[in-house]
Amino acid sequence: MRNLNEPYDFLNLAPKDTQNVDPKRCFGVCAVEFEQTMPNKYTVGTENGLIYSCSRKYKTPADKIQALTIAHTGPVYSVERNPLFIKNYISVGDWQTKIWTEDCRDNPIVWTKEYAVQLTCGVWSPTRCSLVFICRMDGVMDAWDVIHRLDGPVLRIKLSDVPLLALRVHKSGKLIANGTEGGAIYLTEISDNLTFSSANDKPALSGMLEREMRRQRLLEAKIKEMKLKEKELERERIRRQMRMEKENSIEDEEQDLILEAQHQFWTKIHGRKSLKNTLKGIRMRDAGVNLLKPGKKPMLKKDNKE
């Protein structure tokens, strides 16, 4: 019998430490995705635009979070995997809808244009693998077919004057239920052209997703290479600056040594001159000559014989 009085497990989605953290500082969760074919994995969208890829196989909070993606500038309102290509999923938030892949988490591989109004939710069509339905704050529902065009939706319906906050598609793919901010529910039926996939839709979508993933990987590799070159240039600049400072320091030391040698040289020269003058004065005194000031004649000692 399952215990429904307390949760089976919990995970704190904190900025840094996920183990010892105040629950008041955790991020609020706006969307949760759980795929039945992947029972140990689930995806969480938070109020600050982050998407966490989590796993139930591990026990520690640090191991439960497998990947972190900066997806939107505002809350992530919807996260849903493609029904055929489960490695790919959409995220809806701020003014864009983005398609991601687990093999390339840093950047989306496909995205819509930026809307003038905020988006509230989005889902894949269960029967047409390339069709995405999006709800907007102005009460409009858009349908995007990503293999036919990415510059605009293939269908746009104005359903309400208040924001559409919820969207569900029937498993037949033909009926769509939209919930509004005012509590009303709109049931919409779409045509067969947007309900069923053609024979070429699945390989076309697979080829497009694979192509965009390779393109994004090449871009990331190029950006990484450019960053490495910039770091190498910065390190070379620092080494060159340090080498110049060292050379200048050596030159300064050599100049100081030269000045010190010159000072010692002239000190010895002046000392020798002073010593020479002293010795000369002593010899002249011993010879009977008095050293006078310049311009005066020396006085010789008188001979005793006189």
Region for residue 123 given its phi and psi (left: phi exceeds 0; alpha: psi -120 to 50; beta: otherwise):
beta
Q: Which residue has the tokens 């919807």?
A: 78
Rounded (5°) CA angle 136-141-146: 100
Give me the residue spans of the domains in the chain: 1-87, 112-196, 198-274
Stretch (H or E) spanning 99: strand 96-101
pLDDT at 286 over 80: no
CATH number of 112-196: 2.40.10
pLDDT computed for residue 305 by the predictor: 45
Residues found in the chain: 306
Residue 124: burial class (beta carbons within 10 Å; 0-12, 13-18, 19+): buried
- Give me 151's structure tokens: 């510059």
pLDDT at 306 over 70: no
* Tens digits of residue pLDDT in 141-188: 999 999 999 899 999 999 999 999 999 999 999 999 999 999 999 999
* Tens digits of residue pLDDT in 53-92: 998 888 887 788 888 999 999 999 999 999 999 999 999 9
Rounded-to-10 torsion of CA 168, 170, 174, 176: -20
pLDDT computed for residue 39 by the predictor: 84
Cβ neighbour number for residue 117 with a 10 Å cutoff? 12
Integer Cα distance of 191 and 186 in angstroms: 16
Considering the entire predicted model, what is its pTM?
Answer: 0.74
pLDDT at 196 over 50: yes
